[in-house]
Every structure is written in C-alpha cells, then in structure tokens.
Amino acid sequence: MTHNVHKCTEGEYTVNWDDLKLFLAVSRCGTITGAAKQLNVQHSTVSRRIKALEQNLGVSLFRRTKNVYELTLEGVKIESAAIRMESEITGLDGALLGKNDSLIGPLRVTTISSMAATILMPIFSSFCESYPKIDLHIVVSNDTVSLANREADIAVRLTNSPPGMLIGKRITTVASTIYGSANYLKHQQQDGDKLNWIGAECCDFHKSWTKQACEYKVHQFSCNDAMTILSAVRTDLGVTFLPCFIGDVDPILERYCEPETKFDLGLWVLCHPELKHNARVLAFRKHLIQSVNKQRQLFEGIANKA
C-alpha cells in the first residue's frame, strides 16, 4: 500500500510516506546508521532520501551534534505531523488486515537470541505444529524493532519498562545470577583466585550488571553475542550473568551464587494496539503464555537442577 502526504508551495509536490518513515527512524535512532539498520536499507539510501526530503520541504530537518542527528525546530514540527500520519496508516492497515483476519498467513515475532535459540525454540515448534497454516518468521535482534512500522507483529522482550506505545502482558519474572562451568568454579574455590569475568556486551542489562560485579572492569575476553558468551562460560573462560532458564538446564554450568531480586526482569509479550484483535497474534500470545506458565519455576529460578 502506498501512502502519500501532499504539501503545496510555489508548485505542488508529493512527499512519500516511505520518506517520512525514514525521517522518523533517523529521529528515533539519532543516527543514519541506526535508521538504516532498523529499516534494513543501505546507509547511503537513508542519507540521500533525507537530503532530498529537506530539499523538497525547503527546510533543514536535522542538525548534527557529536555524530548524533538532532531535530531542528522545523524537524520537530514535521515529526509531529509524521507521527500522526504513522498512527493513521497503522490504523488503516490494521483495519484492512482485520477484514481478512484468520489463522492463515505470516506472523513476525521478534525476540533476543538467548531466548530464541534456547527456551523459546520448543514453543515455536509446538506453535507451528498447532497452527500449520501460519508462517512463523522469527526476527532475532537485541535492538528495538518497530512494531508500528510492521517490522514485526509481536515482540517477546525481557524488560522492566516496556514501551508505552505498545500493549502487552507481563507473563512472568525471569531470574538471573552468576554462572561458571563446574570445572572453572571448582578450581576457583580450591585456588582462592578472584573471578575472571567475561565481558558481556550483548545488552544493556549484562553490561550494567557486569560493570557492577567485576572489580577490575577489564576483561580478557569480551563479546556482544549472547550465545557466544554462553559458549565461553562453558569452556572455562570465566563467569557471567545468565538467566536461570539457560544456566540451570545446562549440565556443564553451576550457579556461583543464588539469584537476587535486583536482577529480575519481566518477560513481556507486546504488540501494537491495532493488532490486539488479530487472530494470529492472539493465537501466538495464548500459546506463549500457556507454554511459559508450564515452566514458570524455571524462568523464576526456583527449579534448580539436581
């Protein structure tokens, strides 16, 4: 569906909705690179089309400060109009989708790699078995994926502060604590050595927790991928924070200490308000909640392995 907004000056020209979507992405991300990554387009495409939009409108929309794109006064005005248009388009698309709403067709779910590759995979599998005519597309990303821009229909996220523009349910509490391999922790206790911390850069939570716990603030091994960090722990490189649903089921790993509530996160299933009655969204949401409830103790760190 093509959406255009018109503006008249000395002559009439059309501003394409796709250009305004790029504009909103730059405004929200603060960088051309971030916007390009969010929309899955080339950096040069975003830069070129933002410049063309400014030329068409006859105003500067951004000023660059320390490599961050900040809105000008004119940009703020355009942003307000673009957000209103975004809401209207999302509502229109949602209404049209509702006319053909059924348990047939695509469903895009975004979540983080540490969940998609572990505890959620059996849930994805059983969902596909229960709903064979729904095509499940999993978007694995630690970055914020815009549900409003239809980059995904549902987000499964670990957070204590979900975005206000989305609706959803806090399914359960996810507990985390410090894990190391049984072999590493055994030698660490025998030798009385200080813990060797793996530099976890996969998300803000890991960064913050590791920074608080690591005395020296330096790491011999660092990584920004959750599953690679898990592999590093399993191969005796050191310790890191892990959710209990990963650490407690791994036969190689052991808890260094018991979970503390200050490291608890909420597990949320989120969607855009316009999709709250969508049949595929509701089916997945129900299936996820039921599946998580069956393993609630594992998520909450209560059912430790024998």
Residue 240 forms beta bridges with which residues?
Answer: 179
Domain residue extents for the chain: 4-98, 101-174+264-299, 176-263
Domains 4-98 and 101-174+264-299 share a fold: no
- pLDDT attached to residue 222: 83
What is the fold of 176-263?
Answer: D-Maltodextrin-Binding Protein; domain 2 (3.40.190)
Which residues lie below 8 Å from residue 282, measured CB to CB, with a gap of 6+? none
Residue 298 forms beta bridges with which residues?
Answer: none
Which pTM was predicted? 0.66
What's the CATH number for 4-98?
1.10.10.10
Chain centre distance of CA 9? 41
What is 101-174+264-299's CATH superfamily? Periplasmic binding protein-like II (3.40.190.10)
Evaluate whether 131 touches 285 at the Cβ level (below 8 Å).
Answer: no
Residue 169 forms beta bridges with which residues?
Answer: 269
pLDDT per residue, tens digit, the chain (306 aa), is 444 444 434 345 567 788 888 888 888 778 888 788 777 788 888 899 999 899 888 899 999 887 788 899 998 888 888 877 776 666 555 555 555 457 888 899 999 988 999 999 999 999 999 999 999 999 887 665 555 555 788 999 999 988 777 888 999 999 999 999 999 999 887 666 688 899 888 778 888 888 888 777 678 888 888 899 999 999 999 999 999 999 999 999 999 999 999 999 999 999 888 788 889 999 999 999 999 999 999 999 986 544
